[in-house]
């Protein structure tokens, strides 16, 4: 298990700890461990006594040492939701040695993002994140600082601006065309069934890879399999190690080999980026006058590094950390979201019919979906919004950490508290949403002003405030374009045992992004405009 998984999934952390200890089967280690546990316990007691004065938010009863770790279950967003319906929208947990705040209402989220955003602007630095992100020199996981602010600005202005996102349209068109060809082939073939999950992952990764690195690296070209490494990195980023919950037990991570595993992935990725940058610098001397629209993220970052246009000097490690960040943020999220869109549409045939009618009406007989068509597909955007509401790809967002002591709704939140905002729970809150458990894109036709970009605290799939996601436009461009094409060109049916629409399996698997447990195997039929 990787550190991000562990960060988000503390129970497995403790389970893993037990497993590892069992397998080590060193008697003396066990004795030592018991001794340490006792020490920790005593330490804990003194801490609790010291903090008696402060008015912490309500918390469920905790066990010695592990605190509330055992209450997390396999799907933490659901466990947090269940706990907070008992203990309130501002709930304090002790996850191992880590004080943790769980936020589960619109009202508290608004206070945090609007009134106390700075106090909540740090990020917890787990073992894996520190190792993979060059000591958190990236944007997503960096500590709150002036340096972070400068790098974020560079990403917002240079990499993820609307203009830049538009310049990648030819890449999206080519990659989506390849996906459509694959599906057409399946339609013509005998079994006529496609693994849509696989196609969505491949296509969104290819788009990402070409925008960032200039070409696809998925097929191993004798040097390195970037796809494989990327998947490992994502796994690591979602892992919480033992040391992340019990800082004084950080040495266990060395014993379990976890640290060595992170190091191996990091070294391979680092070497890959070094080689890429060196190659690019060499090429630049050969070819001059590349048009601005042809640039990928590596070109742009290297140009910024040379140009001195910004009053901040990017080091080589900064460049690599930013690339790492963009891969982590952009690779799984798009395909996961699209998978949920399809699953929801298959369960709601009337909605499927309505959105397909809109797409086909707007595109007409052009037999090509234009990027401009997307802005006229109002219902399609409501379908995407409703999916982001019910199935947010990252239900607990990226955790934050308090920078200082802060008072929220009369409660004292200590400095260095890990903070989870349960977007999943807020987006299903019956106090705010009418029939919250139902998939009803129409609700956004009636309330077109409610948006997911972080200004409406009832819908925050990308977070909000200073540490909100900066890649929304990039993600949406791929999502909507892929979706419109798949809906325009094909009619979709379930295959195999899923006889009726109600049988679409909606189970989740926990990770940095929550994915569908059962991949989508569907039967497409070609639509003839
Ligand atoms: C479909 O694709 C997913 C994702 O790549 C994969 O995990 C699954 O095994 C595939 N299903 C089959 C039957 O190949």
Helix (H, G, I), strand (E, B) or coil at 187: helix
CA of 33 relative to ligand 1 center, distance in Å? 42
Nearest CA to ligand 1 atom 2: 198
Choose one of 191, 195, 205 to mutate for the ligand 1 pocket test, by most ligand atoms within 8 angstroms of C-beta: 195
Q: How far is CA 457 from CA 48, 104, 200, 468, in A?
A: 33, 11, 29, 12
Q: Lowest-confidence range among 207-211, 267-271, 454-458, 499-503?
A: 499-503
CA of 520 relative to ligand 1 center, distance in Å? 8
Q: Measured between alpha carbons, how far is 321 from 318 in angstroms, rounded to an integer?
A: 5
| Ligand 1 contact via 198 beta carbon (within 6 Å) | yes
Q: Measured between alpha carbons, how far is 521 from 196 in angstroms, rounded to an integer?
A: 6
Helix (H, G, I), strand (E, B) or coil at 524: strand
Following DSSP, what letter does each residue of 253-265 receive, concatenated?
Answer: HHHTTHHHHHHHH
Nearest CA to ligand 1 atom 7: 519
| Ligand 1 contact via 519 beta carbon (within 6 Å) | yes
CA of 183 relative to ligand 1 center, distance in Å? 15
Closest listed residue to residue 62, CA positions, set 81, 41, 46: 41
In this prediction, residues 163-168 reach a mean pLDDT of 93
Q: Lowest-confidence range among 36-40, 237-241, 348-352?
A: 36-40
Categorize the per-residue pLDDT at 17 as very low, low, confident or very high, splitting at 50, 70 and 90: very low
CA of 195 relative to ligand 1 center, distance in Å? 6
Largest CA distance in the chain: 75
CA of 457 relative to ligand 1 center, distance in Å? 36
Half-sphere exposure of 107 (CA within 13 A, CB side): 8
**pLDDT tens digit sequence for 88-132:** 999 999 999 999 999 999 999 999 999 999 999 999 989 999 999
Nearest CA to ligand 1 atom 13: 195
CA of 449 relative to ligand 1 center, distance in Å? 38
Categorize the per-residue pLDDT at 41 as very low, low, confident or very high, splitting at 50, 70 and 90: low
Other beta carbons less than 10 A from residue 299's beta carbon: 16
| Ligand 1 contact via 195 beta carbon (within 6 Å) | yes
| Ligand 1 contact via 513 beta carbon (within 6 Å) | no
Closest atom of ligand 1 to 202 CA is 5
Q: Any idea which residue has 């550190």 for tokens?
A: 3
| Ligand 1 contact via 201 beta carbon (within 6 Å) | yes
Q: Measured between alpha carbons, how far is 418 from 478 in angstroms, rounded to an integer?
A: 32
CA of 197 relative to ligand 1 center, distance in Å? 7
In this prediction, residues 368-375 reach a mean pLDDT of 94
Nearest CA to ligand 1 atom 3: 198
**pLDDT tens digit sequence for 241-288:** 899 999 889 999 999 999 999 999 999 989 988 988 888 888 776 655
Select the more confidently predicted residue: 118 or 205.
Answer: 118
Determine the length of the chain: 529
- What's the 3-state SS for 424-492? HHHCCCCCCCCCCCCCCCHHHHHCCCCCCCCCCCCCCCCCCHHHCCCCHHHHHHHHHHHHHHHHHHEEE
Q: Measured between alpha carbons, how far is 204 from 509 in angstroms, rounded to an integer?
A: 20
Following DSSP, what letter does each residue of 79-122 receive, concatenated?
Answer: HHHHHHHHH-SEEEEEETTEEEEEE-SHHHHHIIIIISTTTT-B
Choose one of 179, 183, 197 to mutate for the ligand 1 pocket test, by most ligand atoms within 8 angstroms of C-beta: 197
| Ligand 1 contact via 197 beta carbon (within 6 Å) | yes
- pLDDT tops 80 at residue 53: no
Domains of the chain: 1-53 (no CATH), 54-526 (1.10.630.10)
CA of 196 relative to ligand 1 center, distance in Å? 9
CA of 510 relative to ligand 1 center, distance in Å? 17
pLDDT of residue 13: 44
Select the more confidently predicted residue: 27 or 393.
Answer: 393
Q: Lowest-confidence range among 39-53, 243-257, 293-307, 415-429?
A: 39-53
Nearest CA to ligand 1 atom 9: 519
């Amino acid at each position: 298990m990787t550190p991000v998984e562990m960060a988000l999934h503390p129970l497995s952390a403790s389970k893993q700890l037990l497993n590892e200890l069992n397998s080590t089967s060193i008697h003396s280690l066990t004795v030592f461990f018991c001794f340490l546990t006792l020490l920790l316990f005593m330490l804990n007691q003194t801490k609790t006594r010291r903090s008696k004065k402060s008015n912490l938010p309500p918390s469920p009863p905790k066990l010695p040492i592990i605190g509330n770790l055992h209450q997390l279950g396999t799907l933490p967003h659901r466990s947090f939701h269940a706990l907070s319906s008992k203990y309130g929208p501002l709930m304090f947990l002790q996850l191992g040695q880590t004080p943790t705040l769980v936020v589960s209402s619109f009202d508290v989220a608004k206070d945090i993002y609007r009134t106390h955003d700075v106090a909540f602007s740090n990020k917890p630095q787990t073992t894996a994140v520190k190792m993979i992100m060059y000591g958190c020199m990236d944007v997503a996981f960096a500590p709150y600082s002036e340096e972070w602010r400068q790098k974020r600005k560079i990403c917002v202005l240079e990499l993820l601006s609307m203009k830049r996102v538009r310049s990648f349209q030819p890449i999206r068109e080519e990659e989506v065309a390849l996906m459509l060809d694959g599906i057409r082939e399946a339609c013509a073939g005998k079994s006529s069934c496609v693994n849509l999950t696989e196609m969505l992952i491949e296509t969104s990764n290819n788009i990402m890879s070409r925008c960032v690195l200039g070409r696809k690296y998925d097929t191993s070209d004798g040097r390195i399999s970037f796809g494989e490494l990327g998947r490992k990195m994502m796994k690591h980023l979602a892992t919480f190690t033992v040391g992340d919950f019990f800082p004084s037990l950080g040495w266990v991570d060395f014993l379990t080999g976890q640290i060595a595993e992170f190091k191996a992935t990091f070294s391979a990725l680092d070497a890959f980026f070094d080689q890429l940058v060196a190659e690019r610098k060499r090429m630049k001397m050969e070819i001059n006058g590349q048009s601005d629209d042809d640039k990928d993220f590596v070109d742009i970052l290297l140009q910024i590094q040379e140009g001195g246009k910004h009053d901040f000097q990017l080091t080589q490690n900064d460049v690599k950390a930013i690339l790492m960040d963009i891969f982590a943020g952009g690779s799984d999220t798009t395909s996961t979201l699209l998978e949920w869109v399809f699953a929801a549409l298959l369960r709601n045939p009337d909605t499927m019919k309505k959105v397909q009618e809109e797409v086909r009406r707007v595109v007409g007989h052009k037999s090509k979906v234009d990027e401009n068509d997307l802005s006229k597909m109002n219902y399609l955007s409501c379908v995407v919004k409703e999916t982001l509401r019910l199935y947010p790809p990252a239900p607990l967002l990226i955790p934050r950490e308090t920078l200082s002591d802060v008072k929220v709704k009369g409660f004292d939140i200590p400095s260095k508290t890990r903070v989870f905002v349960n977007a999943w729970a807020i987006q299903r809150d019956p106090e705010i949403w009418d029939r919250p458990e139902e998939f009803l894109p129409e609700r956004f036709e009636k309330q077109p002003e409610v948006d997911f970009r972080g200004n409406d605290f009832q819908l925050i799939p990308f977070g909000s405030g200073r540490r909100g996601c900066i890649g929304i436009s990039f993600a949406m461009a791929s999502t909507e374009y892929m979706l419109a094409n798949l809906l325009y060109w094909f009619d979709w049916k379930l295959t195999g045992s899923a006889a009726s629409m109600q049988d679409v399996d909606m189970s989740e698997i926990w990770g940095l992004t929550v994915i569908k447990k059962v991949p989508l195997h569907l039967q497409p039929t070609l639509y003839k405009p």
